[in-house]
């Protein structure tokens, strides 16, 4: 007669199965926390350099409502607003070295290229300029967080060149945040800029990105 009772399983085999099951459970629980953070934690007195164009400068809202100002409030860190309205990446590339030297930041948030895209600049040129900015930061031991800028169409999250750069340099990358905000009318002050509500949502998204990657 065949029995389905657990008592028919040898005790030593049962114990082995239990131990194996517990080991697998522990692995599943602990594995998500085993990976190293991608960014070094910014010290309490450390500086973040928010570099970019009008979306960093905060056009469409007051200065205290810009995303760098809100990010400083959320993070408790000094965040330098290094945004210049209308700037293209070629000009940004010339401007960045002096700011890195002046402020000695512990992190660079790079959000630039929107004006190049609006002016139909060749994507290869934009990619090259942004790549040189990333290399400049790395030469100064400054980690980079790259924020993607959408193309000129309604459904774009970010232009493909940003993902290409993120993969090439293995930098922390946010490719959906800005595109999502710019597709939401209540977050916009005009067709290409955010309002105070939009900049706060951007700051909150970037804060979460930094926290998830160990910087905060």
The answer to whether residue 36 is domain-embedded is no
The answer to whether residue 21 is domain-embedded is no
Q: Range of 62's domain?
A: 47-212
What is the tally of structural domains in the chain? 1
Orientation of helix 160-169 relative to helix 123-139, angle to 10°: 30
Query: What is the tens place of the pLDDT at every residue in 35-88?
Result: 689 999 999 999 999 999 999 999 999 999 999 999 999 999 999 999 999 999
CATH number of 198's domain: 3.40.50.1110
Which position has the higher pLDDT, 211 or 12?
211
The answer to whether residue 64 is domain-embedded is yes
**% of residues, the chain, pLDDT over 90:** 81
pTM listed for this prediction: 0.84
The answer to whether residue 124 is domain-embedded is yes
How many whole angstroms separate alpha carbon 72 and alpha carbon 197? Answer: 16
């Amino acid at each position: 007669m065949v029995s389905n009772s657990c008592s028919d399983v040898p005790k030593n085999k049962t114990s082995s199965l239990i131990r194996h099951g517990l080991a697998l459970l522990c692995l599943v629980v602990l594995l998500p926390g085993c990976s190293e953070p991608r960014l070094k934690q910014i010290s309490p007195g450390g500086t973040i350099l928010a570099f970019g164009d009008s979306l960093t400068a905060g056009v469409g809202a007051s200065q205290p409502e810009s995303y760098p100002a809100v990010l400083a409030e959320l993070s408790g860190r000094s965040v330098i607003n290094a945004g210049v309205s209308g700037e293209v990446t070629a000009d940004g590339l010339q401007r960045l070295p002096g700011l890195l030297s002046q402020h000695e930041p512990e992190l660079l948030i790079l959000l630039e290229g929107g004006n190049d895209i609006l002016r139909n600049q060749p994507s290869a040129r934009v990619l090259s300029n942004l790549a040189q900015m990333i290399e400049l930061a790395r030469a100064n031991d400054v980690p980079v967080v790259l924020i993607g800028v959408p193309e000129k169409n309604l459904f774009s999250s970010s232009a493909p060149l940003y993902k290409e750069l993120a993969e090439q340099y293995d930098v922390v990358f946010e490719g959906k945040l800005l595109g999502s905000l710019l597709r939401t009318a209540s977050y916009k002050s005009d067709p290409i800029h955010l309002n105070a509500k939009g900049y706060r949502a951007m700051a909150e998204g970037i804060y979460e990105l930094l926290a998830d990657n160990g910087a905060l």
